[in-house]
A and B are shown apart, each in its own frame.
Chain A
Amino acid sequence: MLQEESDLSLIIAQIVQKLKGSNLYAQLERQAWASLQRPEIKLESLKEDIKEFFKISGWEKKLQNAVYSELSVFPLPSHPAAPPEHLKEPLVYMRKAQGSWEKRILKSLNSMCTELSIPLARKRPVGEQKELLNKWNEMGTDEPDLSLFRPVYAPKDFLEVLINLRNPNYENGDSLSFRTHLGLIQVPLKVKDIPELKEFFVELGLTTGQLGIDDSTQVPPELFENEHVRIGQKVLAEQDSAAAQQYIRQGSPTALRAELWALILNISSQPEDILYYEQLKTNVIQHDLLVDSLIYKDVKLTASNDDYYFVFEDYLYQVLLCFSRDTSVLGHFAYSSASPPKSYIRGKLGLEEYAVFYPPNGVIPFHGFSMYVAPLCFLYHEPSKLYQIFREMYVRFFFRLHSISSHPSGIVSLCLLFETLLQTYLPQLFYHLREIGAQPLRISFKWMVRAFSGYLATDQLLLLWDRILGYNSLEILAG
């Protein structure tokens, strides 16, 4: 009991700490001061009156949403004495594997840089800056020569690394036993089995209504759809994050989706956010990064050729270029097994004081990265909001799809979950595929890494991503 209590107070302290630095705190303070003018606030019962005022005016809800948001993102501390690496990734061999993978990527990037004699970063001359500013909304019409650039890595390279992952403490032995992994992933991670999944995903059961199935026109809308839409509108009116997350487990009506996602991710477009985005844009204009060319290449290779997303090509540049300069993204490395790559000012290799994170947000894009953003363009047409939503989706979910960790939503677990489920419930299919040399994971890996973006029709993809948000977990991708 005591342990729980002290855990709880630790969590509360952490959250308070975090929120104190946020804009919401300043706003609440201002509101509290302003409310002193109101007649119903009396000096004797100051605390209760202000609390009451907050409740009525909706500020309490906002605070609730913020707390909920923090809880969703930040992992719970396991032990007060745990070192920070453990927060990132408790298993040592995983950390090591992630570290060596990162070294490889950085090496690849540096060698491309040397080969092409292009600096990792350079300041743009004023003429070029002006030109870019003019072309900001139509960067897609630019046709820079990208033939010499290659994506730093593709999902299949990453898969190879995962296949070779081994737990040094785990001795499988050469003899086949029921513990042998027949799939590609050879690490013994705990993944949910069907009964656990059933419990976790209870709202996806056959007896509960779902959008995407129960709103097809053979089913009269009175049965489910109308009621569901009505509840959705109510949830939005209440502006309650937690309720929205619960609601969206059954799918979101198309018209409400954009607002629901913003509510769940706790994104509201404040002037500061727009200003921040504009600042990032200025960064892009002033400096040119090598990573930019990688982004260009990726968009041209993937989204531009996609039936659904080619229209939004220019938005993708606007979001991704800004994303790579956003240092606030570095915050997510505290709970990700990955670490941002470091680069050194020319000539000062190894000297820490001359180290910078490269790219500024620490994320090196790989082949297909732009597809994380593309489906969001169907929901948000205002660049700074689109940007915020994407950034939040990335630091909550997408980063797990391309880093090595033992987290249940991490790609390794997802792969293992996929293979286990397939083996257990469709053994004939699994065995057959294995026999013909087509390990099923090889086929489904790229689907999972991209969260199915580009592989599923957009309306269904959005329904899938509804569930990711609803359950705050990527496990549905494996299911």
Chain B
Amino acid sequence: MAGKVKWVTDIEKSVLINNFEKRGWVQVTENEDWNFYWMSVQTIRSVFSVETGYRLSDDQIVNHFPNHYELTRKDLMVKNIKRYRKELEKEGSPLAEKDENGKYLYLDFVPVTYMLPADYNLFVEEFRKSPSSTWIMKPCGKAQGKGIFLINKLSQIKKWSRDSKTSSFVSQSTKEAYVISLYINNPLLIGGRKFDLRLYVLVSTYRPLRCYMYKLGFCRFCTVKYTPSTSELDNMFVHLTNVAIQKHGALGSSGCIAWTPRPFCHQEDYNHIHGGKWTVNNLRLYLESTRGKEVTSKLFDEIHWIIVQSLKAVAPVMNNDKHCFECYGYDIIIDDRLKPWLIEVNASPSLTSSTANDRILKYNLINDTLNIAVPNGEIPDCKWNKSPPKEVLGNYEILYDEELAQGDGADRELRSRPGQSLGPRGGRSRDSGRTVLTTWK
């Protein structure tokens, strides 16, 4: 009986279940003794809530941190990053250096964002500074592009004005909270199309911070040509790149989008072979060929930098429960000056596969994740040091290892700025060899 890991999952996806079964693990229900539970975000909330008084034992591991929403809710992420920046500024850290316009040199990676209705007045002030700008409204608690719309006039968000007498459903409950961010209207276009980057990052512990980045991220392209014209504001196809929206399609009426997901309808434009996705390697090849090697390397370094900084920002408030690990889906947009912007972080990146390639990728992602989180596939002991040997990393590479970094001396911290190779910092390993063999499709 000993030795077989017992697993439970709320999420019935084949990429998960196949991975569990191939390790010879045994499926159980949540009421029984389990070792590994792949939870949905709703479950993690109840498991760790004070009412239930749940206690995880040493041989139990779950796939979320209790308060992951500090990173994965749009408003809290921004709040934490703002707080982190102010702290660094206060302690005089060179990372918090600003330029002559008051913009952070190294920590300006989130588009200007405000909470609504709380920061409504601040937002209005900012909006009036550049009245021709477009802003994007996102509900804090939803995913997959639901409820998102664009505005370019104050009248479109009158409801959220705090002292509006006409608003009948301004509620102070967090469910109705929105964030409003400056819309990046100069995204980098490839073939005239807008895209965003989805990168997977695995965090095994926050203090000390140890995180891994999956090498096989991908770009998600819009099916329709991007034009920054205001008449196109209603066409959410163009602006949103979530695969969920691209798949089901949304027709906008002016202003708000009333969008209801239609589970199994297929949009004709949606391609079943490539799913509108490119590998990050393709992106790299394209950028190196058209823009040059230095700027491309700088871009990728910056992307790694902003991921690490975002994790560092939430590390102090994260409940670093030793039973937890988490695999995040980072959404990043690159603008036409090759500057990356962090748009959001997902706690439950989609495990649905849109194409065959996709299925393989997600299967491997889970496989490598499990190899790191549950060493040797044996019954876990959450007291282990969470330092897996290099061989099990698979397609992950170490993004940042705080312990190793600190071991190299405190002055490494100062040198770890974007634009410099992440080599000396934290034992980040080089690509473990690109394939030398011919890659046939």
- Interface residues in chain A, defined as those with a beta carbon under 8 Å from any beta carbon in chain B: 137-138, 141, 143, 213, 216-218, 253-255, 257-258, 304-308, 310-315, 377-381, 454-460, 462
Q: A137-B192, A315-B191 are in contact. Are A378 and B278 (CB under 8 A)?
A: no
When C-beta atoms are compared, the residue in chain B nearest to A458 turns out to be B285
- CA gap between A442 and B133 in the complex, in Å: 58
Query: Most chain-B Cβ atoms within 10 A of its Cβ — which of A138, A218, A254, A308?
Result: A254
Q: List 9 A–B pairs whose Cβ atoms lie within 8 Å, in order of A's numbering.
A: A307-B279, A307-B441, A308-B282, A310-B271, A314-B191, A378-B290, A379-B289, A456-B438, A459-B281
Which A residues are CB-close (under 8 A) to B288? Answer: 254-255
Indicate whether B225 reaches chain A with its CB closer than 8 angstroms: yes
Contact indicator A381/B225 (Cβ below 8 Å): no
Nearest-Cβ distance from residue A315 to partner chain B, whole angstroms:
6
- CA gap between A307 and B441 in the complex, in Å: 9
Which B residues are CB-close (under 8 A) to A456? Answer: 438-441
B258-290 vs A, CB cutoff 8 Å, 1 = contact: the mask equals 000000000011010110101101100110111
- Interface residues in chain B, defined as those with a beta carbon under 8 Å from any beta carbon in chain A: 190-193, 221, 224-225, 268-269, 271, 273-274, 276, 278-279, 281-282, 285-286, 288-290, 292-293, 296, 357, 430-434, 436, 438-441
Contact indicator A312/B191 (Cβ below 8 Å): yes
10 tightest Cβ-Cβ pairs between the two chains A and B? A138-B225, A457-B439, A255-B293, A311-B191, A254-B288, A312-B191, A307-B274, A305-B273, A255-B292, A379-B289
Which B residues are CB-close (under 8 A) to A310? Answer: 221, 271, 274, 276
Known pairs A255-B288, A306-B273, A455-B440 / 15 extra A-B pairs, C-beta < 8 Å = A217-B432, A217-B433, A254-B289, A257-B289, A258-B290, A305-B271, A307-B274, A308-B282, A379-B289, A380-B290, A456-B440, A457-B440, A458-B282, A460-B439, A462-B289
- CA gap between A260 and B269 in the complex, in Å: 37
Q: A137-B192, A306-B274 are in contact. Are A378 and B441 (CB under 8 A)?
A: no
Which B residues are CB-close (under 8 A) to A462? Answer: 289
Nearest-Cβ distance from residue A42 to partner chain B, whole angstroms:
44
When C-beta atoms are compared, the residue in chain B nearest to A381 turns out to be B290
Which A residues are CB-close (under 8 A) to B432? Answer: 217
Which A residues are CB-close (under 8 A) to B273? Answer: 305-307
Which A residues are CB-close (under 8 A) to B431? Answer: 217
When C-beta atoms are compared, the residue in chain A nearest to B432 turns out to be A217
Contact indicator A254/B293 (Cβ below 8 Å): yes
Contact indicator B191/A313 (Cβ below 8 Å): yes
- CA gap between A354 and B269 in the complex, in Å: 43
When C-beta atoms are compared, the residue in chain A nearest to B219 turns out to be A311
When C-beta atoms are compared, the residue in chain A nearest to B224 turns out to be A141
Contact indicator B276/A216 (Cβ below 8 Å): no
- CA gap between A216 and B438 in the complex, in Å: 13
Which A residues are CB-close (under 8 A) to B441? Answer: 307, 454-457
Nearest-Cβ distance from residue B246 to partner chain A, whole angstroms:
13
When C-beta atoms are compared, the residue in chain A nearest to B357 turns out to be A307
Nearest-Cβ distance from residue B309 to partner chain A, whole angstroms:
27
Which A residues are CB-close (under 8 A) to B224? Answer: 138, 141
- CA gap between A222 and B157 in the complex, in Å: 59
Which B residues are CB-close (under 8 A) to A455? Answer: 440-441
Nearest-Cβ distance from residue A78 to partner chain B, whole angstroms:
39
Which A residues are CB-close (under 8 A) to B278? Answer: 307-308, 311
Q: A456-B438, A456-B440 are in contact. Are A258 and B192 (CB under 8 A)?
A: no
When C-beta atoms are compared, the residue in chain B nearest to A140 turns out to be B225
Which A residues are CB-close (under 8 A) to B193? Answer: 311
- CA gap between A305 and B441 in the complex, in Å: 13
Contact indicator B192/A378 (Cβ below 8 Å): no
- CA gap between A454 and B439 in the complex, in Å: 11
Contact indicator A378/B285 (Cβ below 8 Å): yes
When C-beta atoms are compared, the residue in chain A nearest to B283 turns out to be A311
Which B residues are CB-close (under 8 A) to A379? Answer: 289-290
Nearest-Cβ distance from residue A226 to partner chain B, whole angstroms:
12
Nearest-Cβ distance from residue B112 to partner chain A, whole angstroms:
29
Which B residues are CB-close (under 8 A) to A138? Answer: 192, 224-225
Which B residues are CB-close (under 8 A) to A213? Answer: 436
Nearest-Cβ distance from residue A82 to partner chain B, whole angstroms:
42
- CA gap between A313 and B292 in the complex, in Å: 23
Contact indicator A254/B274 (Cβ below 8 Å): no
- CA gap between A307 and B276 in the complex, in Å: 8
When C-beta atoms are compared, the residue in chain A nearest to B297 turns out to be A255
Contact indicator B191/A377 (Cβ below 8 Å): yes
Query: Most chain-A Cβ atoms within 10 A of its Cβ — which of B269, B288, B431?
Result: B288
Which B residues are CB-close (under 8 A) to A304? Answer: 271
Contact indicator B274/A314 (Cβ below 8 Å): no
- CA gap between A315 and B191 in the complex, in Å: 7
Which B residues are CB-close (under 8 A) to A457? Answer: 438-441
Which A residues are CB-close (under 8 A) to B293? Answer: 253-255
- CA gap between A381 and B290 in the complex, in Å: 7
Which A residues are CB-close (under 8 A) to B271? Answer: 304-305, 310
Q: A255-B289, A311-B191, A380-B290 are in contact. Are A216 and B439 (CB under 8 A)?
A: no
When C-beta atoms are compared, the residue in chain B nearest to A313 turns out to be B191
Contact indicator A460/B433 (Cβ below 8 Å): no
Q: A455-B440, A459-B285 are in contact. Are A218 and B274 (CB under 8 A)?
A: no
Which B residues are CB-close (under 8 A) to A313? Answer: 191
Which B residues are CB-close (under 8 A) to A377? Answer: 191
Contact indicator B225/A378 (Cβ below 8 Å): no
- CA gap between A379 and B288 in the complex, in Å: 9
When C-beta atoms are compared, the residue in chain A nearest to B282 turns out to be A308
Which B residues are CB-close (under 8 A) to A381? Answer: 190, 290
Contact indicator B438/A460 (Cβ below 8 Å): yes
Nearest-Cβ distance from residue A144 to partner chain B, whole angstroms:
14
- CA gap between A148 and B268 in the complex, in Å: 19
Contact indicator A314/B192 (Cβ below 8 Å): yes
Which B residues are CB-close (under 8 A) to A458? Answer: 282, 285
Which B residues are CB-close (under 8 A) to A306? Answer: 273-274
Which A residues are CB-close (under 8 A) to B285? Answer: 254, 378, 458-459
Query: Most chain-A Cβ atoms within 10 A of its Cβ — which of B285, B357, B431, B440?
Result: B285
Which A residues are CB-close (under 8 A) to B436? Answer: 213, 216
Contact indicator B434/A258 (Cβ below 8 Å): no
- CA gap between A456 and B285 in the complex, in Å: 14
- CA gap between A377 and B269 in the complex, in Å: 22
- CA gap between A108 and B437 in the complex, in Å: 42
Nearest-Cβ distance from residue B59 to partner chain A, whole angstroms:
39
Which A residues are CB-close (under 8 A) to B268? Answer: 143
When C-beta atoms are compared, the residue in chain B nearest to A137 turns out to be B192
Contact indicator B191/A305 (Cβ below 8 Å): no
Q: A217-B430, A254-B285, A455-B441 are in contact. Are A311 and B290 (CB under 8 A)?
A: no
Query: Most chain-A Cβ atoms within 10 A of its Cβ — which of B224, B281, B292, B438?
Result: B438
- CA gap between A254 and B191 in the complex, in Å: 19
- CA gap between A138 and B292 in the complex, in Å: 27
Nearest-Cβ distance from residue A139 to partner chain B, whole angstroms:
10
Nearest-Cβ distance from residue A148 to partner chain B, whole angstroms:
19
Nearest-Cβ distance from residue A465 to partner chain B, whole angstroms:
12
